[in-house]
């Protein structure tokens, strides 16, 4: 099955700096890669996603890049703000009637004011 | 549009009992997936239902089961509860499409 590894496990950044989280996956058939943000006591919230036919996608301060050859994808948060503090999870799935999400272990991001 | 809802939000059970959790997907969504979240194992896939049929199953023992009704609402059942079943149980709904949206979860504590 799919194995998703996520690094780092914790990340502390100064407000205004950038944060980068990296994930690798093992199943070459995976073609959809979402990122979820989970604040303490809340549900995971889909913040951005990318499909395998796209190399990069951006939404305001967040962006995701995908390298299918190397089987890794990354989340980039620019101009971090205190409200960006949360646990971030990457995931991968084949899609196409197989929507099982395989998650990374999560990255706890702390933005220091 | 209302989001995914789950009931109950909190549950305390004792070992050996059974429990049923409920999930109502976003209106129009026909696929419901269930995940278990624990500090040690992270987010793990339990199963996925579409049109009342289980399409995919994770690596959990047979004590974990589920079903889906014709209105797409889904339930999951855990029989003979063990201490290790204490977790946050999340369901996610999808049209189906790639995007999955999570409910608030049911926090199950087994004592």
Per-residue pLDDT tens digits for B81-101: 999 999 999 999 998 678 999
> CB count, 10 Å around CB of B107?
16
Distance from CA of B97 to the nearest CA of A (A): 8
Please identify among residues 73-102 of chain A the ones whose CB lies closer than 8 Å to any CB of chain B.
89, 91, 93, 95, 97-102
Question: Interface of chain B against chain A, CB under 8 Å?
Answer: 4, 31, 33, 35, 42-45, 48, 55-56, 58, 90, 92, 94, 96, 98-105
Contact B58 A100 (CB under 8 A): yes
Q: How far apart are CA A17 and CA A40, in angstroms?
A: 22
When pLDDT is averaged across residues B13-21 and rounded to a whole number, the result is 98
Per-residue pLDDT tens digits for A46-103: 999 999 888 999 999 999 999 999 999 999 999 999 999 999 999 999 877 778 999 9
Facing A43 at nearest CB: one of B96, B98, B105: B105
- The more confidently predicted of residues B14 and B98 is B14
Closest CA to A30 of A112, A99, A106, A111: A99
């Amino acid at each position: 099955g799919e194995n998703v590894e996520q690094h780092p496990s914790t990340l502390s950044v100064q407000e205004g700096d950038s944060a980068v989280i990296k994930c690798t996956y093992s199943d070459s058939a995976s073609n959809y890669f979402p990122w979820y943000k989970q604040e303490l006591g809340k549900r995971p919230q889909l913040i951005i996603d990318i499909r395998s036919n796209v190399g990069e996608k951006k939404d305001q301060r967040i962006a995701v890049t995908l390298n299918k050859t190397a089987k890794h994808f990354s989340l980039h948060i620019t101009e971090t703000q205190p409200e960006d503090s949360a646990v971030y999870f990457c995931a991968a799935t084949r899609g196409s009637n197989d929507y099982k999400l395989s998650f990374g272990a999560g990255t706890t991001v702390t933005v220091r004011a | 549009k209302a989001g995914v809802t789950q009931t109950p939000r909190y549950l305390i059970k004792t070992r050996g009992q059974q429990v049923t959790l409920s999930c109502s997907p976003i209106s129009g969504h026909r696929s419901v997936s269930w995940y278990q979240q624990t500090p040690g194992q992270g987010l793990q896939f339990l199963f996925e239902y579409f049109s009342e049929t289980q399409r995919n199953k994770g690596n959990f023992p047979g004590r974990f089961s589920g079903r889906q009704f014709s209105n797409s609402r889904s339930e999951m059942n855990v029989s003979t509860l063990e201490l290790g079943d204490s977790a946050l149980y999340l369901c996610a709904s999808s049209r189906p499409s790639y995007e999955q949206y999570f409910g608030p979860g049911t926090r199950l504590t087994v004592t």
